[in-house]
A = this chain, B = another copy of it.
Amino acid sequence: MFNILVVEDDKSTKKLMEVILRTNGYNHLAASNGLEALEIMDSHHVDLIVLDIMMPKMNGYELTKELRANHDDIPILMVTAKQLLEDRKQGFIVGTDDYMIKPVDEEEMILRIKALLRRAKIVSEHQLLIGKVVLDYDSLTVIRDNEQQMLPQKEFYLLYKLLSYPQKIFTRLQLMDEIWGMDSETTDNTVNVHINRLRKRFENYSEFEIVTVRGLGYKGVRKDEE
């Protein structure tokens, strides 16, 4: 289930979009301007933004600029009036984005949203996204908001494995085999220790959890889709 944030100051358009999104199975969040949008994004995970260009307070361009400056490459579907299109779209529509001309057509909007989400998913292939938390496989890094930490290899791979298959129970032996290698000499207690360290490291992260299954092993639990 994806969370889509609609940033739009016109009440009736906003309402219309809400209906479209809900009937197509998306979660819907709403803001009336850029500032509100940023606030909502602080407290909610957002997969995509539908953004009206013309707005009071902080307009669409400013919001986009703000987001990109923070290296947030969330996909943005811009909505613009026809006459504004040519001149402006050049510098603001980046690779992850798309745009639509008002008035919006239901089918078109859903198609574009689908395409954008699909692309975002591809780009994040080397990554795991859990709520607002990103696990980046290539850099062994866990990022939440502007908090970022690089984990030791074994710890990272362990966490990545568990969260790649949420709810699946792994025995200590399986984990040893997959992360340490089949012929590792090390005792399986070292898995305990690593799990312990991970739990401590992320104890204030509500997005996921490592659960012990007594007599069997561990499983990763994701709580991002509530």
Contacts and interface: CB of A to CB of B under 8 A. Distances in A.
Interface of A: 69, 71, 95, 101, 105, 107-108, 111, 114-115, 118-119, 122-123, 125, 138-140, 150, 152-153, 167-169, 211, 213-216, 219, 225
A45 to B, nearest CB: 22
Contact of A153 (B111, B152, B211, B216): B216
A168 B138 contact: yes
A153 B215 contact: yes
B138 A169 contact: yes
A97 to B, nearest CB: 12
Interface of A: prevailing SS = mixed
Contacts of A213: 139-140, 150
A71 B107 contact: no
A225 B211 CA distance: 35
A125 B80 CA distance: 14
B95 A139 contact: no
Nearest to A108: B122
Contacts of A153: 214-216
